[in-house]
Amino acid sequence: MTLYIGNLSYEATENDLREVFEKYGAIRRIVLPVDRETGKRRGFAFVELVDETQEAVAIDDLDGATWLGRVLKVNKAKPKQAGGQSNPAF
């Protein structure tokens, strides 16, 4: 399972995310998308932990939590839709 982290501060870095999520277990990967044209962060990220049980704990703990001045939305990432539709996915 991959976690979607929405309403993320544009100032958040991969290291910031690693610091928060490593408390829940070993991190397999972090993706912090940037806009192709501007190179600026897009305000969301994806985090995948090695242990799915720990991902569920992270969702419970962090969904609705305030971090870097923003109320986070943390949930299971939805699969990318075919046809080029915009849907945050890993």
- Calculate the alpha carbon distances from 90 to 14, 33, 45, 70 in Å: 15, 10, 9, 22
- pLDDT at residue 17, as a whole number: 97
What CA dihedral angle connects 73, 77, 27 and 12, to 10 degrees? Answer: -40
Q: Is the pLDDT of residue 79 over 90?
A: no
- pLDDT at residue 84, as a whole number: 53
pTM of the complete model = 0.84
How would residue 82 be classed by pLDDT, with cut points 50, 70 and 90? low
Q: Is the pLDDT of residue 87 over 70?
A: no
- Phi and psi based region of residue 74 (left: phi greater than 0; alpha: psi -120 to 50; beta: remaining): beta
The enclosing H or E element of 62 equals: helix 52-62
